[in-house]
Chain A
Amino acid sequence: GAGVSQSPSNKVTEKGKDVELRCDPISGHTALYWYRQSLGQGLEFLIYFQGNSAPDKSGLPSDRFSAERTGGSVSTLTIQRTQQEDSAVYLCASSLSATGRANVLTFGAGSRLTVL
């Protein structure tokens, strides 16, 4: 597509429920990233995928968080047993490659998660 598409744009859920957030990157972009933006905080790196390589999961805050990328394209971020502190905007980005430091990330508009 023309840009990075994320869905849903807004999600309200109850504490303890599982949620799935979807990201559709720009066609041809091999690298995909998930960030979390909490109120008053910067962007917190969660995970990134580069082609068929093992993802870098070093930013995932707990084992309740997981992500997969199917067919090198669409990615799903799953949060199990949500907690109120998980409330944030989850941003997805993609880039042509993850091996060139000057590559530019293109961001989606984000998925706003509210855990009641």
Chain B
Amino acid sequence: AQSVTQLGSHVSVSEGALVLLRCNYSSSVPPYLFWYVQYPNQGLQLLLKYTSAATLVKGINGFEAEFKKSETSFHLTKPSAHMSDAAEYFCAVSDKSGANNLFFGTGTRLTVIP
């Protein structure tokens, strides 16, 4: 079965500081991995995705994530936090059956302190 675990339901960083949001996955097949962001009162938007090409994936708004098979991780990072990054972030893994269903983590709420 596919699953992801997001460590830390809440993360606070100062404006300009490094953002690190953790995601570990479990998959019986080579995974496809995604990070989505949800701003207040909005739907989820795709930040970036890993589809077995380059292990370092760059997304929108300066975010990137690195696929590490040995650690079964796909952590999301951004070198310098901006106030507008405050949102909830979800890691997701693609379904093993070859269909496109996604299994989501419980989310991490990012707070940026001015």
Contacts and interface: CB of A to CB of B under 8 A. Distances in A.
B43 A102 contact: no
Contacts, number: 68
Interface in A57-116: 91, 93, 95, 97-105, 107-110
Interface size class of A (residues with CB under 8 A): 20 to 34
- Does more than half of chain B's interface fall in helix, strand or loop, or is it mixed? loop
A41 interface: yes
A26 interface: no
A1 interface: no
A41 B49 CA distance: 22
A42 B43 contact: no
Interface residues of B, number: 27
B105 A109 contact: no
Interface in B72-105: 90, 92, 94-95, 98-105
B104 A100 contact: no
B56 interface: no
Nearest to B91: A42
Interface string B29-56: 0001010100001111110010100000
B44 A107 contact: yes
Contacts of A43: 44, 90, 92, 104, 107
A107 B41 CA distance: 12
B41 A101 contact: no
Given A48-B101, A99-B98, A105-B102, A42 B46 contact: no
A49 B56 CA distance: 32
B43 A110 contact: yes
B100 A95 contact: yes
A43 B101 CA distance: 12
B101 A102 contact: no
Given A43-B90, A109-B41, A109-B42, A101 B51 contact: yes
B103 to A, nearest CB: 7
A98 B99 contact: yes
